[in-house]
Amino acid sequence: MELALFVALLVLVAIAAGLVGSLTGLGGGVIVIPLLVILFGAPIQIAIGTGFVTILATSSATGAAYVRDHLTDLRIGMFLEIATVPGALVGATLTVFLTHANLESALLVALGVVLLAIIPGSLARRHIELPPPLPQDARSRALGLTGEYHDKVLDRDVPYQAARTSPALGVMFGAGVVSGMFGIGGGVFKVLALERFLNLPMKVSTATSNFMIGVTAAAGAGVMVTAGYVNPIVAAPVAIGTAFGAFLGSRVLPTLSNRTVRILFVPIIALLAIEMILRGFGLP
Amino acid sequence: MTAVPSAPGPGATPVERLPEQAYLRMSLVLRVGLGLALAILGVGIVAHILAFPNATSSSTLSSNPILPYLSLTGLASGLAAGSVDAFLTLGLLVLVATPIVRVLSGFYYFRRGGERAMTAITLTVMVMLVVGILVIGPLVR
């Protein structure tokens, strides 16, 4: 395929990835990575490296809007990064070491199974617009992990407070490892930890996840770039397309209900899980 | 079913507010960082296509032009020589640096607000990012 056509197709794929990634808090790497491997025949390590670029572009493009609109909780995001960043550094290092080993396959299958296990819980919560209040734990009180956002759909200010920070930190470390290993942002686990453990509204969870995946991805991307696993000829058009798609997504999210965002989230988790399991078994 | 909103319950601490300027400044950091990175990458990819008119997707995927520019001296000499690939590498580095600058910006505002715990957390995140990227990447290459 000619280079100009290749670049144009990458931009189109990345626009779709950025749009979906920003709406769901997943980052878009989950779409770019398999398509790079399946459609364009990219080596897996280059696809993973490009996945990080997708996440960086999504996070920065959406972050600018979500932070300005106070949908992102900066305090909670920063607090949880203390677990995701070391996780991402561990994960990216593992990927470099496991590139030539078969252990990656077993991890992929395990990850897929864990993702499938999340789906029933998310489906059970599909009718919940806002979570019922839970008491803050001591750490949440000490750090003032509370906030408020204006919900355009409900047309009112919605207050919230973080609960159960200890299990959330554990899940966030795992999310960091997953992000660092597979270049997928770990947004699935970040949204899970933010919504299910910290008990935040879904839109605050996806916006804060979008904020966090950029910092986590910077750790993983830094390792992958300096290790030589990011090809700029592939990464540049992907970054441009993703940023455009994510910008579109950031315009759409505030107009959706929390239930709609969750309904978008579930099938994408299912697709991600199936993709991981198939990839783990060596199928495209 | 619409559940009750998660309003702060009894014993909740008052909501600590970052100044509005912190939100606007962080949003600006993201817009400028992303815009700069995309401009460099956009110009770079067009220049690369023009410089290598016979290149294909296969030849692109089977090589990585970033490798000579992964050191500070390599990048500086590549940029000085007008290398398109050094230019693309610079765009990638700006993209990676943008979230790190955002963390730095958070550190500044938490410190200014006298929030010692959040300042320490943000500083720890920043140190882990910088040390991880500068030490682990080159070590495992």
* CA-closest candidate to residue A190, choices A66, A87, A47: A87
The string of pLDDT tens digits covering residues A235-271 is: 999 999 988 988 888 787 767 776 777 677 778 778 8
What number is the ipTM of this complex? Answer: 0.78
Looking at residue B13, the DSSP 8-state letter turns out to be P
Neighbours of B116 (CB within 10 A): 10
Asked if A86 reaches chain B (Cβ–Cβ under 8 Å), the answer is: yes
Cα angle A150, A59, A113 (rounded to 5 degrees) comes to 100
Is A64 close to B141, i.e. CB distance below 8 A?
A: no
pLDDT tens-digit profile of A36-52? 877 788 887 788 888 88
A212 touches chain B (CB under 8 A): no
Q: How confident is the model at residue A104 (pLDDT cuts 50, 70, 90)?
A: low
How many structural domains are present in chain A? 1
* Phi, psi (rounded to 5 degrees) for A161: -145, 145
Whether chain B has a CB inside 8 Å of the CB on A3: the answer is yes
| Residue type for position A136 | Q
Which residues does chain B have within 8 Å of residue A227's beta carbon, measured at their own beta carbons?
A: 137-138, 140-141
CA angle A142-A143-A144, nearest 5°? Answer: 95
Chain B residues touching residue A3 (CB < 8 angstroms): 48-49, 52, 55-57, 60
Interface check for B39 against chain A (CB to CB < 8 A): the answer is: no
Question: The tokens 């804060």 sit on which residue?
Answer: A208
Q: Where are the beta strands (DSSP E) in A139-272?
A: 146-151, 156-161
Each residue's pLDDT expressed in tens, for chain B with a length of 141 residues: 334 444 444 444 444 566 778 888 888 888 899 999 999 999 999 999 998 888 888 887 777 778 788 788 988 998 999 888 899 999 999 998 998 888 888 888 888 888 888 899 999 998 888 887 777 766 665
Tens digits of residue pLDDT in A178-222: 777 776 666 777 887 888 888 888 888 888 888 888 888 888 788
Bridge partners of residue A2, in order along the sequence: B56
| Host domain of residue A141 | 3-280
To the question of pTM greater than 0.90 for the whole model, the response is no
Separation between Cα atoms, residue A24 and residue B89, nearest integer Å: 29
Chain B, 103 to 132: residues with Cβ < 8 Å from chain A are 103, 106, 110, 115, 117-118, 121-122, 124-125, 128-129, 132
HEC string for B83-99? CHHHHHHHHHHHHHHHH
Please enumerate in sequence order all residues whose Cβ is within 8 A of that of B65, keeping only pairs 6 or more positions apart, or say none: A231, A232, A233, B85, B88
Q: Please indicate whether, in this complex, the C-beta atoms of B95 and A214 are within 8 angstroms of each other.
A: no
* A218 to B99: CB separation less than 8 angstroms, yes or no: yes
For chain A, give the percent of residues with pLDDT over 70.
88
Residues 49-108, chain B: which have Cβ within 8 Å of A?
Answer: 49, 52, 55-58, 60-61, 64-67, 70, 85, 88-89, 91-93, 95-100, 102-103, 106
Q: What are phi and psi of A120, to 5 degrees?
A: -55, -40
Residues A128-167 pLDDT 10s: 667 777 788 888 888 888 888 887 777 788 888 888 888 8
